[in-house]
Structures are given as structure tokens and as C-alpha cells.
Structure 1
């Protein structure tokens, strides 16, 4: 999904498109753990986190 966004930003010309391209591209260079943990915290704070562990 992120690669499609970067392609769209890089291919279409609009105001601050180059800046947005480099922001998304630098985000893709981060390790997966760095990108996933904040997303998990947001979902947990929203109260929609479902635990699938069986006790």
C-alpha cells in the first residue's frame, strides 16, 4: 500500500509533492517494529484491540 502512495506522489505533480515523497520514502526505510508499535498503541487506546489468546 505504501509503495502505491509513493508512486502516486512521485508521478503526479502537485504542491509539495517532492517533500511528501521523501517523508513517505524515509518512513519506509524504518524497521517494521518501529512502524508497528505506535500503530498497536493507537489501536489499544481506541479500545478496539481484540485479544485472541485462549485461557
Structure 2
């Protein structure tokens, strides 16, 4: 998704000291919310399980 790429680049530029794994977690959670359209902890967790390869 292009919007996720733009957000990630913006965060990397504005917060150059952010840890790579923290940025990845933030991007996965953001994608889960965008795909699921619901902002509840349970729904984010369920959406994350489909995004993370086993």
C-alpha cells in the first residue's frame, strides 16, 4: 500500500532515531487498523496475526 510507504518514510525522516523493530510494529498496527477499519485492541490483534508470516 502506497499510503503505508509514505507514512513510513515520513516517520523515518522526522524521527531518525526510532528503532527499526518499533517502526515495523507501528506500521503493522497501522496497516491492521486501515484494513480492519476498527480500532479495538482485539480486532487489531486479530488483524496482526494475518499480517505476520509464520
TM-score band by shorter chain is: 0.3 to 0.5
Structure showing the higher helix proportion among its residues: 2
Higher RCO, 1 vs 2 (CA within 8 Å, ≥6 residues apart): 2
Q: Which has the larger radius of gyration?
A: 1
